[in-house]
Amino acid sequence: MLDYTPSNTLLTDRIILVTGAGDGIGKAAAKSFAAHGATVVLLGRTTAKLEAVYDEIEQAGHPQPAIYPMNLEGATPNDYENLAQVLIKNFGKLDGLLHNAGILGSLTPIEHYNVDQWYKIMQVNLNAPFLLTKACLKVMKQSTDASIIFTSANVGRTGKAYWGAYSAAYFGIEGLMQVLADELEINTKIRVNSIDPGAVQTKIRTDNYPGEDPNILPLPADIMSLYLYLIGPDSIKVSGQALTMDYKI
Ligand SMILES: NC(=O)c1ccc[n+]([C@@H]2O[C@H](COP(=O)([O-])OP(=O)(O)OC[C@H]3O[C@@H](n4cnc5c(N)ncnc54)[C@H](OP(=O)(O)O)[C@@H]3O)[C@@H](O)[C@H]2O)c1
């Protein structure tokens, strides 16, 4: 586990967009970023969940967040451009982008893999992060130092039987992260990294490990140190890295 204690004001005046902010790790990240001073833009597909996170952040007295409902499965390149325009108009910059929304589908051998499920997972887990990043780069360049975090998984670094599109999409994410980090190294102040959060007690995990006692797993709130480190300025020199929760500074 990362031994990192951020200051309470780590993210003061920073604007950070979190996808899949209504549940699980994204919800914990949004609340944690807000608790450290950020204005968080909550993006997700279930408005009621985003509203609940909004209320929790507001009631805790943290900077007022914003809600941006969006279903990444059906979103078009134009939708992402519109989002970038809204960010420019309302905030003038974007300091952090956490790509966290993801779906898994059912574990199936490739021979029998459902083609519609393959397309859907590729759209949400790989194409959406590409389109959102592409649209947001201009507004991220307005930041003094900006951070992009892609979410990955262990099966996005070593292939494993039956993990199909989920595994292939995260291999794509790791490639996208490396290409982007290399492109942005010169002449920009944008760093790009990926996180494998490890096994965490959320819906995606419990749905796929029905026999596992969820209480042996960390809660999303327990793994926030690495997210805070990467999204905040203490990681200013870290880019192009594929990190896991056992990462040490
Ligand atoms: N938990 C683990 O053990 C683990 C391990 C490795 C990697 N990960 C990755 O960590 C990330 C977060 O997962 P989690 O564990 O927090 O799972 P989760 O609780 O199921 O959260 C996934 C989030 O993604 C959102 N989402 C899914 N499809 C979407 C779409 N089409 N448009 C917009 N938002 C969408 C969900 O929204 P709704 O709530 O509205 O459905 C939810 O907020 C995922 O990328 C996952 O692959 C998790």
CATH code at position 237: 3.40.50.720
C-alpha–C-alpha distance, residues 47 and 69, integer Å? 6
* Residue 3 lies inside a defined structural domain of this protein: no
* Residue 6 lies inside a defined structural domain of this protein: no
Pocket test residue of 18, 19, 23 for ligand 1, highest count of atoms within 8 A of CB: 23
* Residue 10 lies inside a defined structural domain of this protein: no
* Residue 8 lies inside a defined structural domain of this protein: no
Q: Is the pLDDT of residue 208 over 50?
A: yes
Cβ of 30 closer than 6 Å to ligand 1, yes or no, is: no
* Residue 66 lies inside a defined structural domain of this protein: yes
Q: What is the pLDDT of residue 247?
A: 53
Q: 191: domain range? A: 15-244
* Residue 2 lies inside a defined structural domain of this protein: no
Cβ of 228 closer than 6 Å to ligand 1, yes or no, is: no
Structurally, the chain folds into a number of domains equal to 1
* Residue 104 lies inside a defined structural domain of this protein: yes
Q: What is the pLDDT of residue 246?
A: 67
Which residue has the CA at smallest separation from atom 6 of ligand 1? 153
pLDDT tens, residue by residue, 85-119: 999 999 999 999 999 999 999 999 999 999 999 99
User: Does the pTM exceed 0.75?
Assistant: yes
Residue 32: partners with Cβ closer than 8 Å, 6 or more residues away: 221, 224, 227, 228
Q: What is the pLDDT of residue 155?
A: 97
* Residue 7 lies inside a defined structural domain of this protein: no
**Alpha carbon distances (Å) from 162 to 166, 195, 206:** 9, 22, 17
